[in-house]
Structure 1
Amino acid sequence: MTDHDTAPADAQSTTNTPSAATAANVGELPPGRPLQSTFDDGLDYPRLGTVSFRRGTLTDNQQRLFVEHWPRVGKVLSDERIDVDQWFGRTAPTIVEIGSGTGTSTAAMAAVEQDTNVIAVELYKPGLAKLLGAAVRGNLDNIRLIRGDGIEVLNRMIAPESLSGIRVFFPDPWPKAKHHKRRIIQSGPLRLFASRLRPGGVLHVATDHADYAEWIDELVNVEPSLEYMGWPWEDCPQLTDRQLITKFEGKGLNKDHVIREYLWRKRG
């Protein structure tokens, strides 16, 4: 028997348990100005600018789950091109959801599309923590998480023509006119979305904000490599039913908001 085998139990726990500081930093974005790509194609892209990202505190249980599971299922925005097959341990159709929020619809959809890899992208750490908890409780091993801005994640971490789908559900409408340039649905992101989709891949957008819907209506045909399929699209090759009404969506319905959905297909 080795000395390691006879080490006191408290010594082993000290060695294997991360410090409080290390645990708190799991899934944290690096300090300083966030990564910001420069696009030179003449199209319109949202700018992060001086947007202050919401911060929140995790519960003890959420923090424990983060420390335990994040190293395997989570990544933070970087210049690393993701090997999706290696990350999921399989080859399967892959969908990226931009702005997954607390992940209510993400988990609900992932539960009925187990043959699909789902990558949820979100800046808000407590939202990712809630989704991680749902994935662990539901034994949903087809969900992976990335903390970062959706445009930067797609541009830096996702390979061209590698995705079967992209979802953007209820993006921030930035209702003030002076903030419209921050909206994610613009000519530039639509070009970027198309570049990451495989031929035949699907872009699915939903909003309950009337002004934003009018904005999107003006853009449905702006990207030539995306064919606008309207809504509903009966023969859509992937799941389009969010399976449930989220808390956010329910608030909109209670205010008599009309939910508008949009589907595009990447041209071959």
Structure 2
Amino acid sequence: MTENQETIQTEQDKRLRKIRSFVKREGRLTKGQAAAIEKYWPQMGLNHSKQLLDLDQVFGRQAPRVLEIGFGMGKSLVEMAANETDHDFIGIEVHRPGVGSCLADAAEAGLTNLRLFEHDAVEVLADCIADESLARVQLYFPDPWHKKRHHKRRIVQPEFVQKLRSKLAIGGVFHMATDWENYAEHMLEVMQQAEGFENTSASGDYVPRPDFRPLTKFEQRGHRLGHGVWDLIFKRVS
């Protein structure tokens, strides 16, 4: 990489970090959530720093790694980690009550293959996750920023996708799901133009919900009301 390319790359990084794809809402912690953070963070928590993680050391083994961006309250993340014990899971969430709930559920389930960040996913990916170290990245029901003037805040943007691509191993997948059709169309447009990715959909657009993604209560309610959900899975091919 030339000096000019490095300068351009640095400016892109700054721009990515400046436009936030989330608004951090400080919800009130319940006593149980607070207690879970105090008790289980030393074992399951990961702190952001400008140093790449040695994931083999973090988990004490070699295994395929799955990273989820914005796990909410963590119910489905815990379920996936419990169902795929041959994989290691890393969850990123900025809302503290969700972190507390996820820790409590993970501890109750006796999980050893789950670690959590309470930080901005863009910064975690840039600073803590080594290139080609992930088998799957999950982005489920991100904030759709439905007003047109806010679309620039949507996390699925060309620059972000290329940053994420570098963290996936060749053959690794980026799995997105949304219940906003307009956002699904936006995701599809961005990913179809993204260098190094191939759509796994036989029809060239969306895929059925894969078995490994649990059906959430929110999603079940949406189905009953006739709401749609769109899944996209793109594989890194170069």
2:210 is equivalent to residue 244 of structure 1: no
Task: Measure the CA separation in 2 of the matches of 1:62 and 1:212.
Answer: 32
Code of the residue aligned with 2:227 in structure 1: it is H
- Cα shift readout 1:62-111 (whole Å, capped 9, x = no counterpart): 22221121012112333232111111111111010001111111111111
Code of the residue aligned with 1:220 in structure 2: it is M
Distance 1:51 1:117, change over 3 A: closer
Report the identity percentage.
36
What's the secondary structure of 1:190's corresponding residue?
helix
Kindly indicate whether the alpha-carbon contact (under 8 Å) linking 2:134 and 2:172 is maintained by their aligned counterparts in 1: yes
- Cα shift readout 1:93-140 (whole Å, capped 9, x = no counterpart): 101000111111111111110010000000001111111111111111
1:18-33 equivalent positions in 2, closer than 5 A: none
- Which residue in the other structure is 2:164 paired with? 193
2:62 is equivalent to residue 91 of structure 1: yes
- Cα shift readout 1:150-185 (whole Å, capped 9, x = no counterpart): 111111110111111100011110001111001011
CA RMSD of aligned residues (A): 2.6
Q: Aligned match of 2:191 in 204, 220, 226?
A: 220
- Which residue in the other structure is 2:223 paired with? 253
- Which residue in the other structure is 1:263 paired with? 233
- Cα shift readout 1:48-70 (whole Å, capped 9, x = no counterpart): 45964111222222222211210
What's the secondary structure of 1:201's corresponding residue?
strand
Task: Measure the CA separation in 2 of the matches of 1:232 and 1:140.
Answer: 37
Q: TM-score, normalised by structure 1?
A: 0.77
Kindly indicate whether the alpha-carbon contact (under 8 Å) linking 1:77 and 1:148 is maintained by their aligned counterparts in 2: yes
Number of corresponding residues: 226
Task: Measure the CA separation in 2 of the matches of 1:188 and 1:153.
Answer: 15
Unpaired runs of 5+ in structure 2?
A: 1-8
2:118 is equivalent to residue 179 of structure 1: no
Choose between structure 1 and 2: higher helix proportion: 2
Deviation at 1:232, TM superposition (A): 8.9
Flag the structure with larger Rg: 1
2:127 is equivalent to residue 137 of structure 1: no
What's the secondary structure of 2:194's corresponding residue?
coil
Kindly indicate whether the alpha-carbon contact (under 8 Å) linking 1:171 and 1:207 is maintained by their aligned counterparts in 2: yes
1:203-218 equivalent positions in 2, closer than 5 A: 203-218=174-189
Distance 1:169 1:46, change over 3 A: farther
Q: TM-score, normalised by structure 2?
A: 0.86
Distance 1:150 1:166, change over 3 A: same
